[in-house]
Amino acid sequence: MKACGGYGKFLGAVSVFSILCCAPRADAGESCAVIWTYGISDHPEWCETFKRAGFTALTAPLPKETRDVKWWLEPASLDSTDALLAGAARTQLDVYYQVPLGMMIGTKFGPRTVTAAGFEEPSLPCPLNEFFWNDYLVPVVSAIARKALNHPAVKGVILDTEQYYGKERSGAIDENYCFCDECFGGFLKKSGIEEPLPVASERRLWLDTNRQESSYWKYLEERMTKRAAQMAAVVQAIAPGFQIHFYIFEDAWYYRGLLKGMMVSNQPVFVFDAKTYDGYLNNWAEEAAKKTRELNPLAVWVPGFYTGSLSARALRANVSKATKTQGSYWIYNQIIPIPEAYLGE
């Protein structure tokens, strides 16, 4: 349990061991069928339709008015979602709030991330910076966990890790990140390498030249594991059984660390994949499901299907296959309201 000893430093008064003892044990093999659709905030009555169509859960977006403010400091900030929570409770659908990482106010916290090309992203924070975690992400997830205490339909959050505000690129937090002074300088220091910090545009090449690439990803992964474990422990102390899931999976340092860190919570972690939007990817499905479980035995890989690129018939075929092979699926829908044809058995 070497890792747990390390977490103690970060958790202060919160003991990982006491959390592991009191958190409800999750059953391996949990499954879900989640609908993510535009318009749901204004239409709690859709819950009945989604329930009939076989969904087990829905994603609740944060209210529009929370976009640019520190809403988590004001307990009433999520009140406008109460009607949706009531609809979900009435129909026995679980609710996961969607927490954005690469857009809205969270992106303003802490030093900027630097890409592999050496580009400093003006609107994206370093994914590991302490201000982003301590002043944004942990307080936000904690606020939603406190909300869940009074609204049993709220089972957790989905961290949306897509880097929407990236100027160079958006997408997953993969090996294009992070080459900021703190990440790269921290690595040199930890490795005992007494060289001046290379300029940002030469850091990626420096790793190759010095055969330090895998050591670098490992360094970032370990820091990520600690950040995620700290968050999971804080949240379990507030609301035992609260779940933290996430969107997008790549076999990259960020997601490996996230999955490992989440083991502290002893809860299932749904990994909502987007690679499957256009239909099932056989090899990737097997690889992603296996990899995520290796990193966290309670991880559940969840293929996502997009109504914008699949006909109702193709979507049903994919859902059927996902249900048989993985036990879980999710649907991403932008059409308001989602057409009836997509909601059949």
**H/E stretch holding 3:** helix 2-11
Q: Is 180 in the site for Zn ion (CB under 5 A)?
A: yes
* Smallest separation, CB 73 to Zn ion (Å): 26
For strands 299-306 and 94-100, give the pairing. Answer: unpaired
Could you tell me which stretch among 84-92, 183-191, 253-261, 297-305 binds Zn ion (CB under 5 A)? 183-191
Q: How far is CA 250 from the centre of its chain?
A: 12
Site for Zn ion in 111-130 (CB under 5 A): 126
Does position 173 interact with Zn ion (CB under 5 A)? The reply is no
Q: First and final CA of the chain: distance in angstroms?
A: 46
Candidate segments 85-93, 173-181, 192-200, 252-260, binder of Zn ion by CB under 5 A: 173-181
CB of 180 to Zn ion, least distance (A): 3
Which helix (H) or strand (E) covers residue 87, if one does? helix 82-91
Nearer to Zn ion, 141 or 178 (CB): 178
What character string, x for contact with Zn ion (CB under 5 A) and - otherwise, covers 227-256? ------------------------------
- Whether the bond into 4 is cis, omega within 30 of 0: no
Closest approach of Zn ion to the CB of residue 178, in Å: 3
Distances (CA, A) of 10 to 55, 69, 197, 231, 269: 38, 27, 27, 10, 22
Range in contact with Zn ion (rule: CB under 5 A) among 98-106, 175-183, 189-197, 235-243: 175-183
Q: Which of 183, 269, 285, 310 binds Zn ion (CB under 5 A)?
A: 183
Say how far apart CA 74 and CA 72 lie, in whole Å: 5
* 178 binding Zn ion? (CB under 5 A): yes
Within 126-165, the residues that bind Zn ion by CB under 5 A are: 126
CB of 206 vs Zn ion, minimal distance in Å: 15
**Burial annotation 84-97 (CB, 10 A radius, 16+ → b, else e):** bbebbbebebbbbb
**Residue 260 CB, nearest approach to Zn ion (Å):** 19
In angstroms, the Cα distances linking 205 to 118, 202, 231, 252, 297 are 10, 5, 33, 18, 35
Which residues are near Zn ion by CB under 5 A? Answer: 126, 178, 180, 183
